[in-house]
Every structure is written in C-alpha cells, then in structure tokens.
Amino acid sequence: MIAMTIAEIAAAMGAQLLRASDPTAVITGLTHTDSRDVRPGDVFVCKPGEFTDGHLFAPVAVEAGAALLIVDHELDLDVPQLLVDDVVVGLGAFAREVVARVRALGTLKIVGVTGSNGKTTTKNLLRTILQEVGPTIAPRASFNNEVGAPLTMLELTEETKFLVAEMGASGIGEIARLVAMAKPDIGVVLSVGLAHAGEFGGIESTVIAKTEMVSELTPADVAVLNADDHRVAGMAAATAASIVWFGLGPNAAVRASDVHSDATGTSFTLTLASGESRPMRFRVLGEHHVMNALAAAAVAESLGVDIDAIVTALESVELAERWRMQVLGGRDGVTIINDAYNASPDSMAAALKTLAQIRTPGQRTIAVLGEMSELGEFSGEEHDRIGLLAVRLNISQLLVVGQNARRMHISTINQGSFDGESSIVDTADEAFELLKNTIQPGDLVLVKSSNSAGLRFLGDQLGELFSW
C-alpha cells in the first residue's frame, strides 16, 4: 500500500480515531479481513460476518503485528482503532482514497472486468500479459465483491502501472459502487447469463447490473464488449466510451478463427483490431475460454501491448485457476477435469460440451455433477436442461451428487436412451467411494458444481487417486 498516516486514513473513512498515541504514524502494510494473513504493520478489518464476527479475531491480529484496526465498536486492545458505523463502507472509502492518490500520479491504468462467467480467468490472463509491461495488481482468487475488490485496490503502490479489478455482483448497484471506488479506463463485459439469477431477480436485472460497468465511462475510456452476446452488445447504447468488440463472429474487431480444441487446449488464429493476426496454441482447457483470451487480448491491445507479446503471454498460461478446468490424474490413462470452483447454467453446459468435444473415439466419459446454486425460481428447469444436455451429448455416465441437483438425474433417466446410465448419491464421500471402484482405465471424468457443493475437493481426491 502507499504510505499514509493513521490520521489520513481516518479522514478518508470519516472515522473516529481511538487509542492512537501518534496519529502521524505511517501505515504501509496490507489490509486483511482474515487474521491468519496479518503480518507486522498490516491493517485488520473487523468485519462482521454471517457466521462469526471479525472483532473476535482482533486479538489474534494484534498478536500477529496488526498496526491498525478498523472497527464498529471500540475494543479493549492497545492498538490504534478507526471507529466507523459500517466497516465494509469504511473499507470502500479507504480504497477509494488510495486509488485517487495513485491516480493523481498520472501513470495508473485501471481495467474493470465483469460478466456472468469468465471474470477470474480473464483477470488472470490480463495479469499474465500486463505484468510483463509494468507492475500489475490483480485480485487473489475471486476477490470481486464489496470486500474483496477494495482489499485488492489497497495493494496499490506508487509504482503500480496497471490495476485489474474483477467486479462481481449479486444485485443492482453493486458494480456501480465498485466503479465509484476505481473507475476503469477500460471496462470489460464478458457475458450475461443466469449466474446468481435468483439473487438478481431475473435476467433483465442482471443486464442492468452488468451495464453499470460501462455506463459511467467517458469518451476517453474504452468499453470491451462481447459481440456474440446480444445482451452485452446492447450495452453499446449505454456508454459514451469507444467500443472494442471481441468474439468469434465477423462483427468482432478482436476475434478467433480456425478454432480447434482437444484434450490439451485450443488452437486458433488471433486477429486484433489493428488487423494483425497470429496463430496460437492456448493451453487452458475448454473452447469457451477462447472468449476470455479474446477479451484479454482486446484490453492489452488498447493499452498498447503488441500482438507478439500478447500471444507469448497467453500461450504461457496452462491453468486459469485452481479448480477451473484443472486437468489431474494420468495413471492408467484416466483424466480428471476438476471444474468445481463454481457453476452456472452456461458454465455447466460449456464444461459438458468440452467433455464431449475432447473425448477420443471409444473413450468413456463420466460427468460428476452437483448443484448449481443461486438460481432461485430458475433452478428446477436449469437443472433439467443440464441433464438433457448430458443425454444429447452422449455422455457415457452421469453421477449426480446431492439432492439439490436431483432434477438432473431425473431428467436423464426419463430419457429412454439414457436409462440406467445415471445415478445419484447424497454426498461427495459417497461419490468418491462409488467412483474409485467404477472408473476404468482410459476414462475421461468431469467434476463440476457450484462452490457451495464442495465437489472441488472430490475432484482433488480423484486426481490424487489416479496420479502417477
């Protein structure tokens, strides 16, 4: 973080300063909401949560060396404390001030990324490209909400050239609040789908929320939009920014052609808005990730990165993120694809299509699927749709894990052509016991679910079981 005094941080947050014998003391450490991450000189945010309260862990943070606490009530601890009504709001105000100070230096460029699917992958690809150009800050894991995004922003230093801000939302207004903290120079919208549809209240509300990424951009800014998604394409009317379109179709300025995927990745020809083209081999599994690569390439070109540097960086990436199309196993020719970090109807369908697309003639495919959460009233029909898709793609066997995903199993067994090839268990442990006895040499296995279903650990177990 940039150097700021305790008094300056308090003023930025509108906080009451408590137990600070020296308000001019300078803070340069990182900011955390997890006391286990705190190191000497850091700031600890005592955030109340659904199941516990960060204030309870403040003594641990102080023992670890926290130099400053952000609290909503005074604690009996001999360390400076900033008292605010809402620590999350205070955290956002703190981040906004740090961004503004680094912005004032005139060298920082901010890229905001949103979309129903692909945010984390695109963010990671951008970090890989841009860190070769200059100091780059991007979120760890999926730090993309009202807490995670500010924590990332607070990592800025005077030397930072690029901030890649992943901006997620589960409701209207949330992206707008993040944009107010760090208005992008380049705003990216990847897709609009049914992810979190239950929380948004429908696809129309999702469109409104995602449009917040580009609605405040100025004519000097750039909006990078998916030309193949009609809902994203419609956002062109809502922004004053210049637009760079990406996609597979002829209307895209940044596009992929001659696309071919297999079990080791995807080959395609990358064409930039300048008209320059290069063949490339993208090793992140799944043809759907090509769109994320195109978005990253469009941003990089807009920031002045040349095509050879873009291709070299993209070709260096083997894994978008742990638990995202992560290839494991290998013993006895068994391949485990662990894609169970998250799941929406679109990403579930894309993963199943990849499973079908990369199988070799005669190879058996097994889909181990769990619940797609946060779909609200759409949950039943979307789980039905995925079950039917598994049948249409001729997936060899389906194993559904958890009663919340039961309709996937029911929809498959209702299809005569799939009778007896689908089964259901209640837990990941039961699934593991079943699979370790039924997976055969040469099998191709996909594990996919929302994070809450916990199947990512099942994928790890299977990967370890069939590792060399």
pLDDT value of position 342: 84
| 49 known ligand binder | no
| 157 known ligand binder | no
Number of domains making up the chain: 3
| 267 known ligand binder | no
For residue 248, tell me if it sits in a domain. yes
pLDDT value of position 416: 66
| 454 known ligand binder | no
Host domain of residue 77? 4-87
CB-based contact 386:449 (threshold 8 Å): no
Domain holding 130: CATH number?
A: 3.40.1190.10
Asked whether residue 69 falls in the same domain as residue 118, the answer is no
pLDDT value of position 418: 60
Asked whether residue 288 falls in the same domain as residue 206, the answer is yes
Domain holding 350: CATH number?
A: 3.90.190.20
DSSP 58-86: HHHHHHTT--EEEESS--SSSS-EEE-S-
Q: How far is CA 209 from CA 66, 121, 154, in A?
A: 36, 20, 24
Asked whether residue 283 falls in the same domain as residue 340, the answer is no
Residues in the chain where the model's pLDDT stays below 70: 195-201, 416-420
Distance CA 404, CA 96 (A): 40
pLDDT value of position 67: 97
Asked whether residue 209 falls in the same domain as residue 174, the answer is yes
| Contacts of residue 253, Cβ cutoff 8 Å, sequence gap at least 6 | 244, 245, 246, 272, 273, 298
For residue 9, tell me if it sits in a domain. yes
| 160 known ligand binder | no
| 414 known ligand binder | no
Distance CA 56, CA 77 (A): 12
| 121 known ligand binder | yes
Asked whether residue 311 falls in the same domain as residue 398, the answer is no
For residue 373, tell me if it sits in a domain. yes
pLDDT value of position 446: 97
Name the token pair of 346. Answer: 């679109």
For residue 97, tell me if it sits in a domain. no
pLDDT value of position 143: 80
Helix (H) or strand (E) segment spanning residue 128: helix 119-130
Domain holding 9: CATH number?
A: 3.40.1390.10
For residue 453, tell me if it sits in a domain. yes
Asked whether residue 233 falls in the same domain as residue 137, the answer is yes
Distance CA 468, CA 463 (A): 10
Distance CA 171, CA 146 (A): 12
pLDDT value of position 377: 85
Asked whether residue 338 falls in the same domain as residue 248, the answer is no
Asked whether residue 156 falls in the same domain as residue 78, the answer is no
